A and B are shown apart, each in its own frame.
Chain A
Amino acid sequence: MPTAKESTEPAIKTQIRQFIQENLAEVKGISSFRDDESLMENGVIDSLGIFRVVSFLEENFGVRVGDEEINPENLSSVDTIEKLVTAKLNK
């Protein structure tokens, strides 16, 4: 049996990926990206995109992202964003 954490992770990652794909990547003509790819370096997430992602995380997962947490380490890829959300949900 998967643990509660294992069973929620794919859903979180899927939702994050879907939001970024539909709202940030497609409008810039970027059709695919890896989960570990830097979305800041490939141009998917710009300065406004960072805050759109943060708003999405706060509204969708009910978490609060502190100002000091808004940095490339936490928000650069689908993997790091998922890690941030999971850590907050497991607190």
Chain B
Amino acid sequence: MDFSWSEEQAAFRKEVIRFAKQELQDDLERRDREEEFPREFWQKCAQFGIQGLVAPPEYGGGGADTLTTVCALEALGYGCKDNGFLFSLNAHMWTTEIPLLAFGTEEQKRKYLPKLINGEWIGLHCMTEPMSGSDAYSLRTRAERKGDRYVLNGTKTFITNTIHGDLFIVFANVDPAKGANGVTGFLVEKGTPGLVVGKKLHKMGLRTSPMSEVALVDCEVPAESILGKEGSGQAIFTHSMEWERTCILASHLGMQQRLIETCVKYARERQQFGAPIGKYSAIANKVADMEVRLETGRLLLYKAAWLKSQGRHALREASMAKLYVSETTVQTCLDAIQIHGGYGYMAEYEMERDLRDAISGKIYSGTSEIQKVIIAGFQGL
């Protein structure tokens, strides 16, 4: 058992932090208020190699293992304060690139992956519907085979990256009589007739990440647009979620680290009753709790990533990591605000935005309640 990063990983981590602090900083307070997605950040990240981290070199990727990938994403979360942008990046990587890599034909991989990796295209998946959230496979979108084509009809909601999206992985049922076993993934390109990006949805947090509804109105796609096989939608979606739950909250670990450092600095400088507030146990204990939560979260998340680096499945471990890191990030944001008192409540100090962003972590990629269902499910409950 080795708890240290290799020299290469440590150097890469430093380089990502330098990149994020230097290249991914702007007037975030305004963009958050105006819900503006930073497209130029996307291109910078692609040039740096973020979108291609896990993809093999033959498609333009860096071929990094999962542990190195979460190392980089944690560093991004530490150096970049735009949690909405990082959320969009993660959605792109885990719900588009990863399923293409695992289930796509060679032709599909060569057609789409280079563009998704070099920043030219943005990917997304369309699963959630107005009547199906946690019970994802009860979706109502239908795919009807007509000769050499499929016709898709249905409505999707809470879909990330839509407005700037180029490649949509749409989940639809080809045979409702089969229930979840009829769910199938389709690759649908922007501009396909019948693919309609609906109204923009306004969120509490992650406001720089675009989200909207998507309608499929007699949307015809060639039969070769199918991802995997008919009925493999469950495997594709679960596979995506395993990756996403392993990796998406790595940036929250970075955010926790950043908040702890901010709080420690403030607790040393802020004087009340003749002493730095960090000298009072009420404040010091909060910082200690934040540290324990961060290190515990790292252990869970790194273990899930390590399993995947070994080529093993980590659905249970990914759920544990996702559950724990999302819940503790919210608590750490609350503690950070509390330590800063009135200042912490002000938008200028940026912690209220972190809190708003962090709350979504308890909901996306399966709610905390669903993660507990999965963890208990592995015990046969």
Interface residues of A (CB under 8 A from B): 22-24, 27, 40-41, 46-48, 50-52, 54-55, 58, 64-65, 67-68, 70-73
Contacts and interface: CB of A to CB of B under 8 A. Distances in A.
A55 B235 contact: no
Contacts of A58: 312-313
Given A52-B378, A73-B229, 5 more contacts: A23-B380, A50-B234, A50-B235, A52-B377, A64-B312
Contacts of A47: 137, 180, 234, 237-238
A54 B313 CA distance: 8
A65 B235 CA distance: 12
Given A27-B380, A40-B181, A71 B232 contact: yes
Interface in B346-381: 373-374, 377-378, 380-381
B228 A48 contact: no
Contacts of B374: 48
Q: Which 7 A-B pairs have the closest CB atoms?
A: A67-B102, A70-B235, A51-B315, A47-B234, A48-B377, A23-B380, A71-B232
A64 B377 contact: no
B301 to A, nearest CB: 19
A68 B377 contact: no
Contacts of A65: 313
9 contacts: A24-B380, A27-B381, A47-B237, A48-B238, A48-B315, A48-B373, A50-B238, A58-B313, A71-B231
A70 to B, nearest CB: 4
Contacts of B378: 48, 52, 55
Main secondary structure of the interface of B (DSSP, over half): helix
A55 B313 contact: yes
A51 B238 contact: yes
A25 to B, nearest CB: 11
Contacts of A23: 380
Nearest to B243: A67
A54 B315 CA distance: 10
B103 interface: yes
A72 B231 contact: yes
B239 interface: yes
Nearest to A26: B380
Interface in B31-57: none
A58 B313 CA distance: 9
A41 B239 CA distance: 20
A82 B137 CA distance: 27
B235 A71 contact: yes
A61 to B, nearest CB: 14
Contacts of B381: 27
Contacts of A54: 313
Given A41-B178, A48-B374, A55-B378, A70 B239 contact: yes
Nearest to B380: A23
Contacts of B341: none
A61 B379 CA distance: 19
Contacts of A52: 377-378
A58 B180 CA distance: 24
Nearest to B239: A67
B311 interface: yes
Interface string B228-261: 1101101101110010000000000000000000
Nearest to B228: A71
Contacts of A51: 238, 242, 313, 315
Given A52-B377, A67-B239, A72-B231, A46 B180 contact: yes
B316 interface: yes
